[in-house]
Amino acid sequence: MDFYEQWSEARTKIPPGQYHIRCIGSNRPQIWVEGSKGWGKLSNRVVVWFEVIEGSCAGKIIPMFFNLAENHKVPDGSRYYDAWRVANGGARPPRARFKEMNPSKFHNKSFRAEVVDIKPTWLIPGQEKRQEKPEMFHYSKVFILYECITGNTQN
């Protein structure tokens, strides 16, 4: 199942706050490579997909976005590094490189997490301040993983 296609249709929006969520997958989107005839290069962005598993928002799919450095190092203290350590039971990775910090570490685990509202903006020509886009463009995303509740932290 392509979670991005399912999510992008409705851009899930739920009230901000703490939720009990379960990881249902992850991906690194492909980007268009200039001069080629198609998609080919993996982006420096990782998307981890979660499903809310309790309360009135149960079943809603919420993404968590991470940006990677060009050299695929994962800096200590970055959001990806911190979230990966939560999924790994607090243990540090052998080396802070993306290939040693695979997003599959999140899969099939549940977490206590903070979900926030995202209200994109645009810059209207001739105006100095960015303007908030209409509500149809707003969405929710996972911002912080506080703790791994269930799932084997060694996988």
Inside any domain, residue 155: no
Count up the domains in the chain and report the number.
Answer: 1
Inside any domain, residue 73: yes
CA dist list (Å): 153 to 16, 92, 105, 147: 27, 12, 8, 11
Residue 40 has pLDDT above 70, yes or no: no
Give 6's pLDDT tier (boundaries 50, 70, 90). low
Inside any domain, residue 132: yes
Inside any domain, residue 76: yes
In a 13 Å sphere around the CA of 2, the CA atoms on its Cβ side amount to: 6
Inside any domain, residue 11: yes
Residue 146 has pLDDT above 80, yes or no: yes
Give 133's pLDDT tier (boundaries 50, 70, 90). very high
Inside any domain, residue 100: yes
Mean per-residue pLDDT over the chain, rounded? 84
Domain that residue 24 falls in: 3-150
